[in-house]
Amino acid sequence: MLAWLADFAPYFSPLNVFRYITVRTGGAAGTALFFVFFFGPRIISALRLKQGKGQPIRADGPQSHLLTKKGTPTMGGLMILSGLIVATLLWANLRNHFVWVVLLVTAGFGLIGFYDDFLKVTKQTHKGFSGKARLTCEAAIAVIACFIMMSFGTATTTGLAIPLVNGYVVDLGLFFLVFAPFVIVASGNAVNLTDGLDGLAIVPSMIATGTFGIIAWVAGNAIFATYLGINFVPGTGELAVVCGAFIGAGLGFLWFNAPPAQIFMGDTGSLALGGLIGTIAVAVKHEVVLVIVGGLFVVEALSVIVQVASFKLTGKRVFRMAPIHHHFEQLGWSEPQIVVRFWIIAFVLALLGLSTLKLR
């Protein structure tokens, strides 16, 4: 919204500052941070009052969780989403279709997660929304988002860029409407599976989003994209503002989610954040790089897939418990050890992902 003030720069030159994506990204981060800091305690109090017993804890999970986490309210993703959306609407260029596509997926996945959390809290069970129904709804939202990108996109929109290869793109054609939604849905659920310890999902999500904010800014700039040998995608630079808004909202949420957590983000937050990251990766044509930057989420998801497949096929478990962060808990690692070490891994993977911009 404030980006429109730049239209009046010929009459009042200081307004020209609103043309700069970097300025608006910083403004979005600060606005979202302030919003969550200011309204966070009120949201936590309201959710604690409404939920009573809070988020149900898995009976087959680590026994320490039953003692330390029982009664903690969930749906904290509402704090993140509200700060993110308010800051984005205020600072982003709302003429940009990429902004609306990312907001569509983020809000849509957030609503699905909210309904899932609502069922868990009201029924006091860790089983919420039907898995098949949830995936169907997520896929529908992702397909709509990808169709919009195709409609407004360029010739490279349906292409798959290959990292480390200068300018090489595989045109997926209509298969893009299968591949890209899969990336978005997989990203959403991978982050969702990672959310199991205080602060575990939010920091890697911020690291991944910050990384893709840089990639979006570069990919949306013809000069930088040409210099680095990556695909120039007009308009994606504006997604850096959305990424800034999320980082600000995420920092605000982390203040309340730091161990011991006053609130959990729940599926409301984790599904939405994963959807946001996946959609930006698709928009900037760095879907393959998402596997590197979001490697922590990939490993968490794979640990569940391997565990389920192994148990069904052989009756034996590969890990003591899945997702894999619970496996390390069962090995005796403390929760802070796991969380901080996973943060470090996420940061290293982000650096590796950024290195693909120049290694071509």
SS (H, E, C) the chain: CHHHHHHHCCCCHHHHHHHCHHHHHHHHHHHHHHHHHHHHHHHHHHHHHHHCCCCCCCCCCCHHHHHHCCCCCCCCHHHHHHHHHHHHHHHCCCCCHHHHHHHHHHHHHHHHHHHHHHHHHHHCCCCCCCHHHHHHHHHHHHHHHHHHHHHHCCCCCCEEECCCCCCCEEECHHHHHHHHHHHHHHHHHHHHHHCCCCCCCHHHHHHHHHHHHHHHHHHCCHHHHHHHCCCCCCCHHHHHHHHHHHHHHHHHHHHHHCCCCCCCCHHHHHHHHHHHHHHHHHHCCCHHHHHHHCHHHHHHHHHHHHHHHHHHHHCCCCCCCCCHHHHHHHCCCCHHHHHHHHHHHHHHHHHHHHHCCCCC
Cis, bond preceding 260 (omega within 30 deg of 0): yes
Q: Give the confidence band of 339 by pLDDT, cuts at 50, 70, 90.
A: very high
Q: What is the average pLDDT value for the chain, to the nearest integer?
A: 90
As a whole number of angstroms, the distance between CA 112 and CA 177 comes to: 21
| Residue 119 near residue 129 (C-beta atoms within 8 A) | yes
User: Could you tell me what percent of the chain has a pLDDT over 70?
Assistant: 92
| Residue 181 near residue 143 (C-beta atoms within 8 A) | yes
Average pLDDT over residues 197-203: 92
Region of residue 317 (left: phi > 0; alpha: psi -120 to 50; beta: else)? beta
* Whether the predicted pLDDT of 66 surpasses 50: no
* pLDDT at residue 358 in the model: 79
Q: Give the confidence band of 138 by pLDDT, cuts at 50, 70, 90.
A: very high
Q: Give the confidence band of 127 by pLDDT, cuts at 50, 70, 90.
A: low
Average pLDDT over residues 12-31: 92
As a whole number of angstroms, the distance between CA 31 and CA 26 comes to: 9
Locate the domains of the chain by residue range. 21-355
